[in-house]
Amino acid sequence: MSITGSTQRKVTMNSNRRQLLMAGSAVLSAGALARQSNTNATPAHNRTLSRDTDLAGLTPGQPGVDYRPVVTPNGAALPFKVIDGVKVFHLVAEEVDHEFARGLRAHCYGFNGRVHGPTIEALEGDRVRIYVTNRLKVPTSVHWHGILLPNGMDGVGGLTQRPIEPGETFRYEFPLLQHGTYMYHSHHDEMAQMAMGLMGLFVIHPRYPQGPRPDREYAFLLSEWKITVGSRRPDPNEMGDFNVLTLNARTAPGTEAIVARVGERVRLRIGNLSGMSHHPIHLHGHTFEVVATDGGTLPDTARWPEVTALVPTGSTRDFEFVADNPGDWPLHCHMTHHVMTQMGHGLPILDGVDPTLFDAALERAVPAYASMGAASGDGMSGHGQDADEAPAMSPPNSLAMVGMRGPFGFVTMGGMFTVLKVRGSLPEGRDVGWYQHPEGTVSMRADPKDLARDGIEL
């Protein structure tokens, strides 16, 4: 007996439930529910509810009571209300002037004024009704990526529904028969609309958690953009040369750091909806396990320790680790070009050549260059002092290719990069600042006495 069959039988016996359905939905009739056969195969590893559970009898999950809400760094949770036992959400697709980091904004697509859309959070067994209003100038639809639901709720424009025309509001409604980290995104002209940012996270907490519970959960959605330096709109036609790599649509140094107290169990829910790239996400100072995919929880026997795990595009991965190593630890994609920002290509190779030659030549031959104040002397041509601020010498609305300020100077990483700050104690509501290293634990220029003692000849 499948859970759906059981549900449907229960539902047909539950007059309240049926009235609700009859009153509220032309789409989800009892007959439609009867066609939820795709959920018959819902595997055990992404559900904690028995197949016989009467979903209608479950109370909608309350954040902070039934589950610990995830933190979406730089993001937000989508608010909801409960109407007759159904969690009602409202997504508004619209153009959003989005800031990727201070100094770089672009006209993107988002939901409810945010890029990406707010994180939808619910509890396994909840029934959700999600209204989608299209305030874009183009038709769209929303696909609930990885979620097991009736075919007509899958949100594929042209295939499972007609597209939502500008100005229209569509209703999606389905029970959440699983738990895990999922995503939602446009599934109409998806190449363009996803390149413009039309996506978000959908986190379903287990109704009955098993195993050790994380103390902190962070959710990240990875994506990639092409924003020509100095322009203000992502280029949806780009296929390979993406130059803005983001965590929750923010690029370092615009990414929020995440924190953990020493000894806390931390879960990172990471989804990837990049147009073309898979991202090997690397955490410093710790080993973690991938404990779940969007297919379900991995059995213990299928887990192994990692310091880097690939998050393929169109997938989610849940990482878990115990933050047992105090410090400021990078968490980033390990593809080196993905920790650059607005990287230019097609430049001459400068290695092997004194870089000051170039500035000197331009100063002699181009009066405008000399008047700009020109050379910074670091070979980065004016970049790197403060990546938080685009130098006046750069085009407006652009970011330095790499870099952010760190406690020891210049951090040559940007893009898909943030910092995990592990501390013995976390002061409430205060920036934890940079890690204070214990005496003698920071690498520095070698003492000649040490060199002599160890026989290092220079």
Q: Give the interface with Cu ion as residue ranges (CB under 5 A).
A: 279, 333, 335, 338
d(CA 167, CA 139): 9
Q: How far is the CB of 195 from Cu ion (least distance, A)?
A: 16
Q: How far is the CB of 102 from Cu ion (least distance, A)?
A: 22
Q: Is 391 in the site for other proteins (CB under 8 A)?
A: yes
Please say which residue, 268 or 387, places its beta carbon nearer to other proteins: 387
Q: How far is the CB of 189 from Cu ion (least distance, A)?
A: 25
Q: Is 377 in the site for other proteins (CB under 8 A)?
A: no
Q: Is 339 in the site for other proteins (CB under 8 A)?
A: no
Q: Is 381 in the site for other proteins (CB under 8 A)?
A: yes
Q: Is 387 in the site for other proteins (CB under 8 A)?
A: no
Choosing among other proteins, Cu ion, none, which partner's interface includes residue 381 (Cβ < 5 to 8 Å by kind)? Answer: other proteins
Q: How far is the CB of 406 from other proteins (least distance, A)?
A: 21
From 32, 29, 37, 26, select the one nearest 2 (Cα to Cα). 37
Choosing among Cu ion, other proteins, none, which partner's interface includes residue 212 (Cβ < 5 to 8 Å by kind)? Answer: none
Q: Is 88 in the site for other proteins (CB under 8 A)?
A: no
Q: Which of residues 220-279 bind other proteins (CB under 8 A)?
A: 229-230
Q: How far is the CB of 345 from other proteins (least distance, A)?
A: 9
Q: How far is the CB of 136 from Cu ion (least distance, A)?
A: 28
> Do 298 and 314 contact (CB within 8 A), yes or no?
no
Please say which residue, 33 or 340, places its beta carbon nearer to other proteins: 340
Q: Which of 83, 353, 446, 456 binds other proteins (CB under 8 A)?
A: 353
From 188, 333, 187, select the one nearest 272 (Cα to Cα). 333
Q: How far is the CB of 363 from other proteins (least distance, A)?
A: 10
Q: Is 394 in the site for other proteins (CB under 8 A)?
A: yes
Q: Which of 368, 429, 449, 457 binds other proteins (CB under 8 A)?
A: 368
Q: How far is the CB of 355 from other proteins (least distance, A)?
A: 10
Q: Which of 395, 407, 433, 448 binds other proteins (CB under 8 A)?
A: 395
How many positions of this chain bind other proteins (CB under 8 A)? 35
Q: Which of 299, 348, 438, 455 binds other proteins (CB under 8 A)?
A: 348
Contacting positions for other proteins (CB under 8 A): 229-230, 342-344, 346-354, 357-358, 361-362, 364-366, 368-369, 372, 380-383, 391, 393-395, 398, 400-401
